[in-house]
Amino acid sequence: MLCLVVAIADGDTLTARCGAPGAYRQLKVRIAAIDAPERRQAFGERSRQHLASLCFRQRASIQPLNKDAYGRTVAHVRCRNTDVNAAQVRAGMAWVYTSYAHDYPQLAPLERQARVQGRGLWSQRHPQPPWEYRHRHVQGR
């Protein structure tokens, strides 16, 4: 479906307005197969800004796959004819979410290349995966 991206929550989540004029519906989309740093985490804001540079106020092709535990639509997203999950991983702005990436074999080599070249979050000595950050953040409450 074709939509207009109206908000970027973080490096792997956006909001799009989909449907015909006068019959729009908002769709919160979690980009498939990647996990970006949380906004308060190192590189979180840069990851969000990179996604915004790709998609904000742009038409997006959204292919829904399923829903996540938070009710977001998990989808494959293209903005400006760019594969968004691959672009985020290539730029070092997201990890490959290996548990959910079996249909995206192109992502692992992109992550390895970003690591080797020290792009984005891989410029840090010991980048903390977002799932570890979330676990520690919840534990610390």
- Domain span at 15: 2-139
Instruction: Identify whether 132 is a catalytic site residue.
Output: no
- How many helices (H) and strands (E) are present in the chain, helices listed first? 4, 8
d(CA 35, CA 74): 12
pLDDT tens for each residue of the chain, 141 residues long: 889 999 999 999 999 999 988 889 999 999 999 999 999 999 999 999 999 999 999 999 999 999 999 999 999 999 999 999 999 999 999 999 988 899 999 999 999 999 999 999 999 999 999 999 988 886 544
Distance between CA atoms of residues 131 and 108, nearest Å: 18
Instruction: Collapse the DSSP code of 49 into the 3-class scheme (helix H, G, I; strand E, B; otherwise coil) and give the result.
Output: helix
Q: What is the CATH number of the domain that holds 6?
A: 2.40.50.90
Report how many domains make up the chain. Answer: 1
Examine the residue annotation and report whether 30 is marked as an active-site residue of this protein: yes
Helix (H, G, I), strand (E, B) or coil at 40: coil
Residue range 45-64, pLDDT digits in tens: 999 999 999 999 999 999 99
- Catalytic residue, chosen from 48, 72, 78, 90, is 72
Q: Any catalytic annotation for residue 72?
A: yes
Bridge-partner residues for 75, per DSSP? 31, 64
DSSP run (H or E) holding 133? helix 130-139
